[in-house]
Amino acid sequence: MRAIGIDVGGSGIKAAVVDLAAGDFAGERVRIDTPQPATPDAVVAAVRDLIAPFPRDLPVGVGFPSPVVDGITTTAAHVDSGWVGAPACDLFARGLGRPVTVLNDADAAGVAEARFGAARGRAGVVILLTLGTGIGSALLNDGVLVPNTELGHLQVRGRDAEHLAASAVREREGLSWGEWAARLSEVIGVVDSLFWPDLVLLGGGVSRKADKFIPLLDVRPPVMAASLRNRAGIVGAAAIAAGAARG
């Protein structure tokens, strides 16, 4: 079974055809810059162009940087405010001319890690934090997702956790790995005090450099790099779409 996975981010929109037996891309990943402003019309049009070369008969899943409740996006931290309360599922379906499943981007990554990656076969509470433009989260209990957690917006020292410790913040503020790891430790500490997870996974593109910062973390729960890295969002969105298509 194959499906198209799409990951809408604040700076780029990425897509690939995913082979769901392998849990990996079936071909090349394509990317375009996120239109600015990232209004609903502009993003839907960009996604339509992006996936135009892909087969038309495959299920389509979109990971989006907002909670998605009944197909509606409820916030817009890294995209235009027009997405707040927007019927995202209907907008994509109309724009692409076929059924589309929309879910939170970090939830998509969590589903992929649970099925194919570092959380596979893991019992207990696993929390994935995706470190990118912002911080996304996925909460899994015995491999089952509790959707729409927004742990990147936990208050840490009076600030949104993602404003303190996202990967983009490390780059923007020129933080050393040690300085960034100290901030991440604070964020994981707050998460730990509320959820007491059995395992924390760190994902996003920066997890490629996990050896530079995971050993520097000073936290209670075990922490590992997510294994699908920045492929997780695309693979998970495709997996959920394929499940929805099967009914």
Where b means 16+ CB within 10 Å and e means fewer, 8-35 reads: bbbeebbbbbbbbeebebbeeebeeebb
Query: In this structure, which amino acid lies at residue 163?
Result: H
- Shortest separation between residue 244's beta carbon and ligand BGC, angstroms: 20
Query: What is the footprint of ligand BGC within residues 186-245 (CB under 6 A)?
Result: none
Query: Among 130, 167, 207, 230, which residue interacts with ligand BGC (rule: CB under 6 A)?
Result: 130
Q: Which residues contact 207 (CB under 8 A, 6 or more apart)?
A: 131, 225, 226, 229, 230
- Shortest separation between residue 97's beta carbon and ligand BGC, angstroms: 27
Closest CA to 65 of 143, 132, 155: 132
Query: Among 47, 60, 96, 106, which residue interacts with ligand BGC (rule: CB under 6 A)?
Result: 106
Residue 134 binding ligand BGC, by CB under 6 A: yes
Closer Cβ to ligand BGC, 78 or 170, answer by number: 78
Query: Among 5, 58, 92, 104, which residue interacts with ligand BGC (rule: CB under 6 A)?
Result: 104
Closer Cβ to ligand BGC, 2 or 14, answer by number: 14
Closest CA to 232 of 145, 112, 146: 112
Closer Cβ to ligand BGC, 134 or 221, answer by number: 134
Report how far apart, in Å, the C-alpha atoms of 223 and of each of 39, 49, 64, 244 are: 36, 38, 25, 32
Residue 7 binding ligand BGC, by CB under 6 A: no
Query: What is the footprint of ligand BGC within residues 52-91 (CB under 6 A)?
Result: 65-67, 75, 77-78
Structure tokens at 244: 């929805």
Mapped onto helix, strand or coil, the DSSP state of residue 146 is strand
Q: Which residue lies nearest ligand BGC, judged by its C-beta? A: 136
Spatial contact of 40 and 55, defined as CB atoms under 8 Å apart: no
Closer Cβ to ligand BGC, 136 or 236, answer by number: 136
- Shortest separation between residue 105's beta carbon and ligand BGC, angstroms: 5
Spatial contact of 30 and 46, defined as CB atoms under 8 Å apart: no
Closest CA to 8 of 66, 59, 49, 57: 66
Residue 152 binding ligand BGC, by CB under 6 A: yes
Residue 185 binding ligand BGC, by CB under 6 A: no
Q: Which residues bind ligand BGC (CB under 6 A)?
A: 65-67, 75, 77-78, 104-106, 130, 132, 134, 136, 150, 152, 162
